[in-house]
Amino acid sequence: MTAEHPPLARSTLDRAAHRRTDQGWLAEAWSRSRVLVVDVAAGGWALAGGPAERPELVLLGPEDVVDADPSARLFLGIEPDGVPVFAVAAPLPAVPQARSVNLREVGHLLPDRDAGIFTTAVALGNWHARHPYSSVTGRPTAVGDAGWSRADEAGQQLWPRTDPAMIVLLHDGAPGPDGRCLLGNNAAWRPAGGVRRYSCLAGYVEPGESAEDAVLREVAEEVGLVPHGVEYVASQAWPFPGSLMLGFFARAEPERALRLDPAEIAHAGWFTRRQVAAVLAGEPVDAGDGLRVGLPNPSSIALFLVNRWLDFGAPQA
């Protein structure tokens, strides 16, 4: 069965936003905190231990984080046991028995607590790395509010930006193993290891546009279909560098001819539940051109939507 929440929409932290401007509390909290070092410059890596199939983040004590400028400490929240958690963007230190992991690769394998900490740290770290100057005045900015704002020397403040994007799994509405969904291969994705990767259709929500209207527009632009029955499912952060993915289902008619935008979609096709389940089970499904079908990254909301669609078509007990 599909997990209740998308992989990167899980957390156990109390964000405790009221503490972000309390400098005295923050200084004391740092002294007893757990700290995640995240290498934002390298693409969002952190340290983990444990078996590969069940990794757990390695959080350090403040005494183990060298040269941690107080202004660079990003306060993420408070754990259920009362311990504050901070993140510091820096190269990863050498820690015995630990290995470097990337959020894309392990987000779905982490426990809820670690998924929330890692996702927030990468999202916040990426925002800081991309906003060293004010977009209003052009002046250099410095970290404020324990990592939750930046300001220039004149006091012009900026707050973390999240870009809304929609992602939709189109399906034919049919139950059972022969029900079909539409998946596309992005024009930027090259085959690897004999596999052509397919995923849901997605795109950014434009200014003045609702997420539901973005679904209609993107589907029409990318594959030339007119979807109906648009249904919101769930959302999750995708901090690469700073999106919020809004997940939907919508219905479309497989009999309609596809009209692909070659700048966006290189290949697209309808796949039955039987075929999708086979790919998930590790069985080869023909993608044409001597390639096999691949499915979305396990940490993405795309695979969450695919699995949820599979569940809806499963026989009832």
Q: Which domains does the chain have, with CATH numbers?
A: 17-158 (3.90.79), 163-312 (3.90.79.10)
> Does the pLDDT at position 46 exceed 80?
yes
14 near 82, Cβ under 8 Å? no
> Does the pLDDT at position 249 exceed 80?
yes
Residue 316 has what pLDDT? 42
What is the band of 3 on the pLDDT scale with cuts at 50, 70, 90? confident
- List, in sequence order, every residue forming a beta bridge with 225; answer none if it has no partner: none
- Supply the mean pLDDT for the chain: 95
DSSP strand pairing (243-251 vs 228-238): antiparallel
Burial class for 51, CB neighbours closer than 10 Å (0-12, 13-18, 19+): exposed
What is the rounded CA–CA span in Å between residue 118 and residue 21? 22
What is the band of 313 on the pLDDT scale with cuts at 50, 70, 90? low
What is the rounded CA–CA span in Å between residue 72 and residue 187? 38
Q: What separation in angstroms does the CA of 194 have from each of 191, 241, 278, 293, 299? A: 6, 28, 17, 9, 22
- List, in sequence order, every residue forming a beta bridge with 167; answer none if it has no partner: 202, 247
